[in-house]
Amino acid sequence: MSIDGAHAGLAITIFIVVLFAGIGGVVWALIVGGAVASWFTVSLVAAVGGGRRGWAAAKRAYLLTFGWASWL
């Protein structure tokens, strides 16, 4: 996983949330956005539990949440 791939994953995720807002309404955008935010929170807690602190924990959570785009 790379940080560039994570940035791409974030951009794709934002596009999907906006698409859900346009097609399904604000409620669906909040559901999808909330799911992504929940996953980031769980990843951040896991990173802190694994011994990372501060920016290192936030970066690991960011990579775990959005780094999937590196595989595209």
At 54, phi and psi to the nearest 5? 60, -135
Q: Is the pLDDT of residue 34 over 90?
A: yes
The pLDDT of residue 70 is: 84
Name the one residue in this structure whose structure tokens are 């791409």.
8
Q: Which residues of 34-70 are buried (b: 16+ CB within 10 A; e: fewer)?
A: eebeeebeebbeebbeeebeeeebbebbbbbbbbbbe
Contact yes or no for 44/57 (Cβ under 8 A): yes
The pLDDT of residue 2 is: 81
User: To the nearest whole number, what is the mean pLDDT of the chain?
Assistant: 92
Q: Is the pLDDT of residue 1 over 80?
A: no
Q: Is the pLDDT of residue 9 over 80?
A: yes
The pLDDT of residue 44 is: 94
Task: Kindly tell me the burial class for residue 28, based on how many C-beta atoms sit within 10 Å of its own C-beta (0-12, 13-18, 19 or more).
Answer: middle
